[in-house]
Amino acid sequence: MQRNFAAMLLLVICANAVCVLAADGSSDFEVGLAYRMEGKNGAAVETFRKVPSTSPYYVQAMIHLGAALEDLGKKKEAVQAYESCLKQNPGNQIAIRNLTQLNSAMTCEKIIKLPSTTKDELIYNAFSAAKAKDAKRAADLCRLYIGLFSSDPRSLFTSAIVSERMGDFDQAIEIYEEAMELFPDFIPARVNHVLALVREGNREAALKVAQKALETRPENKQLRSLAELVKQLPKTDRNPAKDD
């Protein structure tokens, strides 16, 4: 009888342990992580969603849920997951970083859809003005382009190139920096920023910017190659633009 009682007590303890695991969501969280490691993002998403908002694992689950949804291309749902995380923990740096980068990437994809001729004409006329050394007209056209297409990172990018064509590298560098701040996922601005610094003869600044860009996007082969090329440049304070 004592054996039966002991067996029953063990079953009750085990049952309670299972209930606790189910209640705090640790089991679903761990299973979701396992699915993520196996590359089964669909299964991971469904599992992470089972973790209750009262669970101590909820914040971590929402971060991994957002990442899994991003991998599945479901960016709007990923935004919701990161936002859910931040409602519970407003200062979570991982969620803030992921949400910021995701919003930036989505902005780059959502270019305002106006007739292409509008953009083409603005770009063509801006470059023509730069070629004719008409600084005021070039600047006016660039401002118009940015005003009409503020959600398009290429508006700032084009304006910076026009400034370079006009020989104003300092202004170009400032515009590239603005483009990188507003659109951190827009790699062409990062590349041209480094190249503009190189043309200015500021190798050290170019190297620092290239390395920082690579730290931000370590998976980008273009940035990695650029950083290596800048490293190989000889140290010099020579400003090519002033030799003309």
Structure tokens at 88: 């519970």
Q: Which residue has the tokens 């940035």?
A: 223
Fold identical between 2-109 and 116-242? yes
Please give the CATH number for the structural domain made up of 116-242.
1.25.40.10
Domain extents for the chain?
2-109, 116-242
**Predicted local confidence at residue 126, as pLDDT:** 87
DSSP-based three-state secondary structure for 168: coil
What digits encode the pLDDT tens for the residues 92-147?
Answer: 999 998 998 888 777 656 544 445 557 788 888 888 988 888 888 888 888 888 88
Q: Residue-wise over 12-34: b if at least 16 C-beta within 10 A, else e? A: eeeeeeeeeeeebbbbbbebbbe
**Predicted local confidence at residue 76, as pLDDT:** 92
- The CATH classification of domain 2-109, taken from the options 1.25.40.10, 2.40.320.10, 3.40.190.10, 1.10.10.10: 1.25.40.10
Structure tokens at 2: 């004592």
Side-chain-facing half-sphere of 148: CA atoms under 13 Å: 17
What digits encode the pLDDT tens for the residues 19-31?
Answer: 444 444 568 889 9
What digits encode the pLDDT tens for the residues 15-65?
Answer: 444 444 444 456 888 998 999 888 899 999 999 999 999 999 999 999 999
Structure tokens at 214: 């690579």
User: Do residues 58 and 51 touch, judged by C-beta distance below 8 A?
Assistant: yes
Q: Which residue has the tokens 């118009």?
A: 144
Amino acid at position 173, single letter: I
What is the average per-residue pLDDT within 84-98? Answer: 92
Q: How many residues does the chain have?
A: 244
